[in-house]
Structure 1
């Protein structure tokens, strides 16, 4: 009889422990959120003159494959190099290069 009571308590303990662990894992997972910069596609005519000057200095033989802008005034540019490969670069509205990974 004592063995059955011990078995019942052990079973309930394992069930409640498993339920508690699952709910805490769900709460921790829900809290972790990564905020990413959202870039919106723009026309190349919307680039500022300092940005255009820097592009021509750094990439004189490349073509602009795409231009994007975020709320901070930073540009994400997709450059098509002479070899045909694409390179993504970041620059602010004043022509300062930004290192992002």
Structure 2
């Protein structure tokens, strides 16, 4: 009789571990990329007003790449020390916040 109860307890205990469900976590990450349709241009094609504004605002900045969009706005990839970033400017050298 003891063996019957012990066997039943073991079987029922084993079934409860299979019946338990673990919480399912679905983490969906959405990445939205906004393309402003900038096309790469030569560094020599950047207007002097833009390069002068860059030298004035960031004297130690090194211009690595330049891009232009249809609205004559410029995206400038610059390096200042060990930091790399992008700044945006209009053709007249005024900064654009993006």
Bucket of the pairwise TM-score, normalised by the shorter protein: 0.5 to 0.7
- 4+ residue stretches of structure 1 with deviation over 2 A? none
Cα distance, 1:51 vs. partner? 0.5
Distance 1:76 1:49 in 2: 14
Aligned to 1:14: none
- 1:20-71 Cα offsets, whole Å, 9 max, x none, are xxxxxxxxxxxxxx97420000111001111011011011111012100001
Distance 1:54 1:35 in 2: 26
Superposed, 1:22-101 pairs within 5 Å as: 36-82=35-81, 84-100=82-98
Aligned to 1:28: none
Higher normalized helix content (fraction of residues): 1
Gaps spanning 5+ residues in structure 1: where?
A: 1-33
User: What value does the CA root-mean-square deviation take over the aligned residues?
Assistant: 1.5
Distance 1:44 1:65 in 2: 8
After TM superposition, the score normalised by the length of structure 2 is 0.63
Count of paired positions = 66
Distance 2:97 2:88 in 1: 7
Higher Rg: 2
